[in-house]
Homo-oligomer: A and B are copies of this chain.
Amino acid sequence: MQLLKDRIRKDGKIKAGNVLKVDSFLNHQMDIKLFEEVGKEFKRRFADMEVNKILTIEASGIGIACVVAQSFHVPVVFAKKTQTKNIAGDVYTSKVESFTHGRVYDIIVAKEFLGKGDKVLLIDDFLANGKALEGLAALVEESGAELVGAGIVIEKGFQVGGELIRSQGIRLESLAIVESMDEESGEIVFRGDKA
């Protein structure tokens, strides 16, 4: 998606440790007009698929998921992160390992909001190691719902997440895949760019 790649090149900031900061338009301040275009693009890419629910994860996935949902005319459910020890039996739960925060947390979705008959599209802002997306896919499987695919705004193509998810046969559409980035020069190479 050219509009998105241009925006990443213009406003993304490359930090030490392969960190790509896009918090001026994606995950702290949110450019809703851009989100609308992202929603249209996901709808175009999943045009052949029936979707009746979008599932995302708090916090930064929620905004993009809600605007994308307008293109699909479906409700959104977000998985909650929790460290609560005793989780009631009326939720689906899965474990996610966070590299950023160096810990494992549970994600939960109430059983009443996910189940047989649901055709679920996963939406998230970032894909890096793939653990969050894997956790969401596990919730969908546990619920008996059908996993239609996953839509990601920015995939870090040099990390394992994309390969991990695609190797499980999950249809993954990432709108911008960063192949490499250079902290010194500020250069970003996207997958599919001409050399």
Contacts and interface: CB of A to CB of B under 8 A. Distances in A.
A146 to B, nearest CB: 17
A30 B70 contact: no
Contact of A29 (B30, B58, B77): B77
Given A59-B59, A63-B66, A110-B23, A78 B30 contact: yes
A30 B63 contact: no
This protein's copies in its complex: 2
B59 A80 contact: yes
* A interface: dominant SS: mixed
A32 B63 contact: no
A76 B113 contact: no
A29 B113 contact: yes
Given A28-B113, A29-B110, A30-B77, 9 more contacts: A23-B110, A24-B113, A28-B109, A30-B66, A30-B69, A32-B74, A58-B59, A58-B62, A63-B63
30 contacts: A23-B110, A23-B113, A24-B112, A24-B113, A28-B77, A28-B78, A28-B80, A28-B110, A29-B75, A29-B76, A29-B77, A30-B69, A30-B76, A30-B78, A32-B66, A32-B69, A32-B70, A32-B74, A32-B76, A35-B66, A58-B58, A58-B62, A62-B62, A62-B63, A63-B63, A63-B76, A64-B66, A66-B66, A66-B67, A67-B67
